[in-house]
Structure 1
Amino acid sequence: MNRRELLYSVGASAVGLSLPSLKSSAERSAPSDKLTVACIGTGSQGLRVLLDLLRLSQVRVIAVCDVNRLSSDYLEWGPNELREKVRTVLGDTSWGANHSGPTAGRDAAQGIVNAFYGKQAGRPATGCTAYEDFRELLAKEKDLDAVAISTPDHWHAVIAIAAMRAGKHVYSQKPMAHNVWECREMVRVAARTRRATQVSIFNSNLPASQQIHDILASGAIGSVRSVDIWTKRASKFWLQGLPTPIQADPVPAGLNWDMWLGPAPFRPFNHAYMPFIWRAWYDFGCGAFGDMGEYGFDTLARALSLQAATRIEASTTDRFPDCYPVASAVHMDFDATSTRPALRINWFDGGIEPARPSELPVSEQIGEDGEGVIYHGEHGKLLTAFMGQNPRVLSPSGKLEMPFPKGASVQEPFRSEAPELGGTASGANAAHYAEWIDACKGGPPARANYEFEAPIVETLLLGCIAVRTHEPLVWDAERFAFTQGAAKATALLKPAYRVPWEISSK
């Protein structure tokens, strides 16, 4: 079962999670009750989030923003995935008939929003404004309540902080930040402005997260001393270990390349950077560890009460000046707490896997789809899929037990109505969005809020630094400093921002 299929296989009621209610499309909110949202970043993932928000009756999308006007070269999860989801939401089987490939960008997003609301109203709609620059959007949209940020990683903090200072609530993609300093600053600004935040870590709402917590709390495997977690994400969806291009490609029509670069150092355009391959490059993304790590570590943090790691070291395949390596192993040590002993977490990506437990029957896989997690306890092990689903308790004698029924792998259909009953476009379940909407309206903080996620992402970004420096790092979180590590590592805690994108600490 892959990460998207998981969403359709288990219900929150299985473990009694307390989730905010979500009105179906049939229970329309009055216009004055709706949360007005602007979608900043309308590439493939941004378009998925947009489709999800359109279907939520508590939300009204009033603006979109992207530095790319329109193109048909985006990455999608399967053949015609984006086109078919748009057609489903709009109820229009002709949408995208003339597109040459996966199509997104601000013009596409604006057209989708106006078509959706126009169909609801029974007349053409023109209420959604499209912007190239998020600063203009924040200045002009006076009735805006919140933004949903789906940009490359290097833009997350810059836009989120600007939005919060402008009085807007924020929903943003993972990873929460692109460097360690940004994590701290995003939390500080969210607290100071009292804005509701949520990172797109949808598995924080799923039964599997609570199941892992409950199994470990029961003492089923004793105190956990180490955890192995691994993924093949990068090798499956994008390339890493790439040489820096030495020639420039023509900038595609409709793309503001300088604005796309934003706070990153200037470099000539090349198709090696986009679309989506940007995740591999230091200046724009965080590699496989930063991309997938926040999903997996969210479950670990809730089950094991994790804060930031205190010692981090990494080994990798060949390193490149500007690009993350093909594969890496990152080892993180966490100090003991009042509820658990000292702990080591070992991360593997790019096809590397941990040692197979010798007591595991040969007929059993250690993970699912090339990914997984192994919790090593004092008297047993807990094996799960990457985000905690389908946990199996392994005794020292090799006996396997599943405390919870295995989730079905049949995917529910993606539907235009009643999003709480079917799949979503982005992979996030409806309750994930609902609790953020509730928080924006004065309810309790969303589970994956910035304050909770920051220590997780801090650890991941420290790991990214270790991948780049190949030196053991000892981290003093209270002092925000390395007590062991070279000057290069310290400089990476807060790299320089290109003018005029420096984030002020006002």
Structure 2
Amino acid sequence: MTKKSLTRREFIGKSTIAAAGFWIGTHSLSAKQEDLINKQEPPSDRLNIGIIGTANRAASNITGVSSQNIVAVCDIDDNYLSAISQKYPDAKSYNDFRKLLEQKDIDAVVISTADHTHAVATIAALNAGKHVYCEKPLAHTVFEARAVAQAAAKNKKLATQMGTQIHAGNNYRRVVELVQSGAIGKVSECHVWCEKSWSGGERPAEKPSVPKNLHWNLWLGPVVERPYHPSYLPKTWRRWWDFGGGTLGDMGCHYMDLAFWALKLRHPLTIESEGPPVKQETTPAWLIVRYEYEAREGMPPARVTWYDGGRKPDLVMEGKVPLWKNGVLFVGDKGMLVADYDQHKLLPEPDFAGFTPPPQRIPNSVGHYNEWIRACKHGSPTTCNFDYAGALSEAILLGNVAYRTGTKLEWDAIALKAKNCKDAANYIKSEYRKGWSLV
């Protein structure tokens, strides 16, 4: 069958031996080289992409896929929608992503909305037969994260990728190789810290008018209705439990990603959190979360601890590890390894003088967005697909559940419940208002 005899959708979605060979043979291309190749493609061979959420964080995501055809844009803010429509005048515009998903020529969507609408938009897109790129975390609740992963598994031919851009960097890959090669011995302890802090107070009492450019009801989506207030958006929603997950929800998927990848983690056995007194409406100024994992694939049981809002591991505060603002510290029985986005060090440094790194075995990425673009076209793998990202997001969100219940949770990953805390169910799954569902 020739390319001309295929429909455009069939051609883009067709996974062939030739496509697989293209993936294997060009995996060492730089992201800039891949962008150039994408832009040299004839328009008929490019993906038709719908953009859901067009401003703030979305700007980088749009740039990341701009080599393709942007055929639809959606935002609940008419000012943002007007701005992106000027850049892509041929794209159809929408306020409701559900209407966008009815557009037949869309092959894939990029979702950059607030956390509370990630799952409803993602599952609707998968059910509509669209490839999906979604910002992190993958969902707002543990139940949603599992539902998204299951929807992706059901639609195996659709390419998925979560927005953990640092995963594509060479530094993370070299760290994974060092840990998994045994450079610091068996690792049973990992510490992850982030200086950032999202927190707030009580629900505003004022009820100002909704700005004319804002479709407030659509922004709320599945969340129980409440009056508009500028304290919620556009950039402050992360500190409200109904819309975000605080610092852990914001940054956990980026830094915990390295621990998950290197230590081959999935579902924790227990989760315990500490922080300031719990507030009903808003997230804490700081948080420490302790996870316990069983032995995995030749690796011993592991304790992983998250710190944010200025808290750091004792090893850092004692001067045994560099005082970086953010970091991931692996503690092995033969040494330590500390990393952030761009650098890593083996510690104590004198013990590793003259150390020869293991051979590179993880190919350099063609670029985080280009992995997904290529997967949409050829069926090649993505490294942050919704199976991996779903488990990572579940663990991140469970840290907030443990904090809000004040209980060390004994986690049953199969049943998706805390065996020792009935109250956890209130935070594992949230009720949707009428008109919204994951079906």
Q: Place the TM-score, normalised by the shorter chain, in its bin.
A: 0.7 to 0.9
Tell me which protein shows more helix as a share of its residues. 2
What's 1:148 paired with?
Answer: 110
d(CA) in 2 for partners of 1:263, 1:27 = 38
What's 2:163 paired with?
Answer: 200
Letter of the 1:198 counterpart: Q
1:44-443 equivalent positions in 2, closer than 5 A: 44-54=56-66, 56=67, 59-70=68-79, 105-114=80-89, 127-139=90-102, 141-193=103-155, 194-234=157-197, 239-356=198-315, 360=319, 365-367=322-324, 370-385=325-340, 387=341, 389-395=342-348, 399=351, 431-443=367-379
What's 1:491 paired with?
Answer: 426
In the alignment, structure 1 residue 502 sits paired with structure 2 residue 420: no
**Paired positions, count:** 404
| Aligned CA distance change for structure 1 residues 254 and 404 (closer, same or farther; 3 Å) | farther
For 1:406-448, what per-residue CA distance to the aligned partner results, in whole angstroms no more than 9, with x for missing partners? Answer: xxxxxxxxxxxxxxxxxxxxxxx96111111111113222111
d(CA) in 2 for partners of 1:358, 1:403 = 26
| Aligned CA distance change for structure 1 residues 357 and 153 (closer, same or farther; 3 Å) | closer
| Aligned CA distance change for structure 1 residues 191 and 378 (closer, same or farther; 3 Å) | same
Q: RMSD of the alignment, in Å?
A: 2.3
Letter of the 1:223 counterpart: K
Shift of 1:275: 1.5
| Aligned CA distance change for structure 1 residues 365 and 501 (closer, same or farther; 3 Å) | same
Letter of the 1:263 counterpart: P
Choose the corresponding residue for 1:456, options 392, 397, 405.
392
What's 2:408 paired with?
Answer: 472
For 1:133-167, what per-residue CA distance to the aligned partner results, in whole angstroms no more than 9, with x for missing partners? Answer: 1111112x211101000000010110011011111
| Aligned CA distance change for structure 1 residues 26 and 225 (closer, same or farther; 3 Å) | closer
Tell me if the contact between 1:241 and 1:318 (Cα under 8 Å) persists in the aligned partners: no
| Aligned CA distance change for structure 1 residues 26 and 338 (closer, same or farther; 3 Å) | closer
Shift of 1:399: 5.0
Q: TM-score, normalised by structure 2?
A: 0.87
d(CA) in 1 for partners of 2:129, 2:38 = 31
- Shifted more, 348-357 versus 35-44: the winner is 348-357
Describe the SS at the equivalent of 2:40. coil
d(CA) in 1 for partners of 2:218, 2:63 = 25
Choose the corresponding residue for 1:446, options 382, 407, 419.
382
d(CA) in 2 for partners of 1:19, 1:471 = 46
| Aligned CA distance change for structure 1 residues 185 and 152 (closer, same or farther; 3 Å) | same
Q: TM-score, normalised by structure 1?
A: 0.76
Tell me if the contact between 2:49 and 2:107 (Cα under 8 Å) persists in the aligned partners: yes
Shift of 1:25: 6.6
Q: What is the percentage of aligned positions where both structures have the same residue?
A: 33
Tell me if the contact between 2:238 and 2:245 (Cα under 8 Å) persists in the aligned partners: yes
d(CA) in 2 for partners of 1:392, 1:403 = 11
Tell me if the contact between 2:35 and 2:370 (Cα under 8 Å) persists in the aligned partners: no
Tell me if the contact between 1:244 and 1:321 (Cα under 8 Å) persists in the aligned partners: no
Letter of the 1:371 counterpart: N
* Runs of 4+ deviating beyond 4 Å: 16-21, 357-361, 397-405
d(CA) in 2 for partners of 1:113, 1:483 = 51
Shift of 1:494: 1.3
